Amino acid sequence: MTGRTTVAEAVGTALVGCGVDTVVGVVGSGNFAVTNAMVAAGARFVAARHEGGAATIADAHARMSGRPTALTLHQGCGLTNALTGITEAAKSRTPLVVLAAEATSPRSNFAVDQAALATAVGAVPMRVTSAAGALDQVAVAVGTAVHGRRTVLLNLPLDVQAAELALPAGPLEVPAPPPVVPAAAEVDRLVAALRSARRPVFVAGRGARGPGARAALDALADRCGALLATSAVARGLFRSSPWSLDVSGGFASPLAAELVGGADLVVGWGCALNMWTMRHGRLIAEGAVVAQVDDDPSAIGAHRDVAVGVIGDVRRTAEAAAAALGDDVAPGYRSPELRTAIAARVRWRDVPFTPSGGPDRIDPRTLTIALDDLLPAERVVAVDSGNFMGWPSVFLDVPDEFGFCFTQAFQSVGLGLATGIGAALARPDRLPVAALGDGGALMGASELETVVRLGLPMVVVVYDDAAYGAEVHHFGPDGHPLDTVRFPETDFAALARGHGFTAVTVRALRDLAGVAEWVAGWAGGTATTPLLVDAKVAADEPSWWLAEAFRGH
């Protein structure tokens, strides 16, 4: 297409031409034209009710779809409202383009240093400074987001938006760096470590979720007898393997922690091996060799010393290591007895427990195991932050690495519902399940309307302990007053019905009959509203991972 148009319209059209097919936001005067241009060019627009929700919806969509997503914001307050969600995306290296109008007059009430805000939270600030360079800047922004795995803030000044420019004759070329191929000497050091290991464990992270990576890691692990684990954000990657330990770190089951902690070689594949994944180093045995593979040189050794560092793409490095091993096959950590033990005891639901609670409060483990059995296996689970979060994170099984959306790099309460919406939009083939605490549910309640308006067949589970449970269990044992973190019980079921949900209140297993009825209707195509489960959970003991979380503060 040729001709002339405004910078705002050209930028919107160019973003879609660069592969951005979904844009989320709240539209105001400053981003009205550019957002409409994206829609006219074929992008799907998703209106959120608050910019904070919009940011996390966009973040989750990008994570679960594997495609760049745009967030569109009004100048000034639109950006500041979205800042927590942008921070989460930036810390998680989500390929997100934040398109924000920008007031350039210092006398404007909307004027803030938007580039400084982006820098402060770890996003990459960019700006369209003129009509002449506008389209080049768009291509660079998308390239940085996609290939650099960065959250980019592309500022669009109000005084530039109305300027005219000529449309290009064809789509823009998005700059792409060459693939990161590991050096032969580094692969040789990794292979030497694999040959020497008797109890190797692979821990795969976000960088192992790319095309072909799972198959390459499986093939290499089969050669050297490695057990397979993931960080939380890559949960489900090895779901079908009999050698999968599920998640390493704070969410690890007792058997998984024992086996990771017994390894003589731990290899992180696109995984930071940070304090969460390695329990502050306690999952690394004395004398164990630590290796790390990552295509970002700055990631190698960032969280702990490594004996072997390989700068390379996960799939290419695993394939190169397998080729170097040749026909050598070693049993490594694997044995028939261990395979049987993993099948019987690696899941948290297989660990015996004594239910807590009483006649009006259900144990959160009992609740979540029952939901795991009731809800369809093809699901995508999103989890908010709080004392409750361990239960849905490990008791709800997921089918693969695109079945668990974990926006916890910033540990902000209140992102869970928006995370579930973004995941639902990215994976319409699966039942979306959003697990929230009562505090996070109230923080993000404005997006209940978004769920209904979009017609999403979502299950929202609120683990209601009428408190900020993390603080209750952290400070309560020392005798501190807890009035500031305890609240009256909230009728979340009534709140949800007011927005158009079907809702059930659960205090005992028998109350889940309403969930079973909704699931049957969903499977039969007759459930036309989303479901909220208002679970009144026992609050007399902390979740097992809580001490681990506070250890990191």
pLDDT tens track of the chain, all 553 residues? 457 899 999 999 999 999 999 999 999 999 999 999 999 999 999 999 999 999 999 999 999 999 999 999 999 999 999 999 999 999 999 999 999 999 988 899 898 999 999 999 999 999 999 999 999 999 999 999 999 999 999 999 999 999 999 877 777 888 888 889 999 999 999 999 999 999 999 999 999 998 999 999 999 999 999 999 999 999 999 999 999 999 999 899 999 999 999 999 999 999 999 988 898 889 899 999 999 999 999 999 999 999 999 999 999 999 999 999 988 889 999 999 999 999 999 999 999 998 888 889 999 999 999 999 999 999 999 999 988 999 999 999 999 999 999 999 888 999 999 999 999 999 999 999 999 999 999 999 999 999 999 999 999 999 999 778 778 877 888 888 888 888 899 999 999 999 999 999 999 999 999 999 999 999 888 888 999 999 999 987 777 776 666 665 5
Answer whether 440's CB lies under 8 Å from 384's CB. yes
Same domain, 70 and 195: no
Within a domain: 407: yes
- Tell me if 318 sits within 8 A of 294, measured CB to CB: no
Q: Is 215 helix (H, G, I), strand (E, B) or coil?
A: helix
Q: Please list, in sequence order, all residues whose beta carbon lies within 8 angstroms of the beta carbon of residue 531, skipping any fewer than 6 positions away.
A: 458, 459, 460, 501, 502, 503, 504, 515, 518
Cβ distance 128 to 157 under 8 Å?
Answer: yes
Q: CA 347 to CA 350: how far, in whole Å? A: 6
Contact 454, 499 (CB under 8 A): no
524 shares its domain with 413: yes
Q: What angle is formed at CA 477 by the lines to CA 474 and CA 479, rounded to 5 degrees? A: 110
Would you say residue 179 lies in a domain?
no
Are residues 297 and 372 part of one domain?
A: no
From CA 118, how far away is CA 107, in angstroms rounded?
Answer: 21
pTM of the model: 0.95
Both 269 and 379 in one domain: the answer is no
Residues 341 and 428 in one domain: no
Is residue 300 within 8 A of residue 306, CB to CB? The reply is yes
For the chain, the farthest-separated pair of C-alpha atoms sits apart, in whole angstroms, at 73
* Residue whose C-alpha is closest to residue 523's, from 402, 425, 379, 390: 379
**What pLDDT is attached to residue 161?**
96
What type of residue sits at position 432?
Answer: P
Residue 317 resides in a domain? yes
535 and 393 both lie in a single domain: yes
Domain final residue, candidates 166, 200, 231: 166
Instruction: Give the pair of three-digit tokens for residue 63.
Output: 């994570």
Can you say whether the dihedral through the CA atoms of 540, 544, 549, 552 is positive or negative?
Answer: positive
* Helix pair angle (7-17, 134-147), 10° resolution: 30
Residue 476 lies in a domain: yes
Do 450 and 511 sit in the same domain of this protein? yes
* Burial state string for 494-511 with b = 16 or more CB within 10 A and e = fewer than 16: ebbeebebbbbbbbbeeb
Determine contact, residues 252/346, Cβ cutoff 8 Å. Answer: no
Which strands sit side by side in the sheet containing 431-437, from one edge to the other? 404-405, 379-383, 431-437, 459-464, 531-536, 502-506
Residue 514 sits in a domain whose CATH number is 3.40.50.970
Structural domain count, the chain: 3
Q: Residues of 112-123 as b/e, b for ≥16 C-beta within 10 angstroms?
A: bebbebbeebbb
Q: The domain spanning residue 202 has which CATH number?
A: 3.40.50.1220
Main-chain phi, psi angles of 154, to 5 degrees: -100, 105
Task: Measure the CA–CA gap between 139 and 135, rounded to whole angstroms.
Answer: 6
Question: How far is Cα 233 from Cα 208, in angstroms, rounded to an integer?
Answer: 10
Instruction: Examine the domain organization and report whether 474 and 536 are in the same domain.
Output: yes
418 and 337 within one domain: no
Q: Does residue 54 lie in a domain region?
A: yes
* 305 and 369 within one domain: no
Alpha helices in 41-150 (DSSP H): 51-65, 77-81, 83-91, 114-121, 134-147
Question: pLDDT digits over 5-61, tens only?
Answer: 999 999 999 999 999 999 999 999 999 999 999 999 999 999 999 999 999 999 999
**Domain end (from 287, 320, 345):** 345
- What is the extent of the structural domain holding 252? 184-345
Half-sphere exposure of 535 (CA within 13 A, CB side): 31
123 and 214 co-located in one domain? no
First to last CA, the chain: 54
Q: Using CA atoms, how far apart are residues 96 and 23, in angstroms rounded to an integer?
A: 10
Is residue 153 situated within a structural domain? yes
Q: Last residue of some domain: 327, 345, 363?
A: 345
* Pair 322, 408 in one domain: no
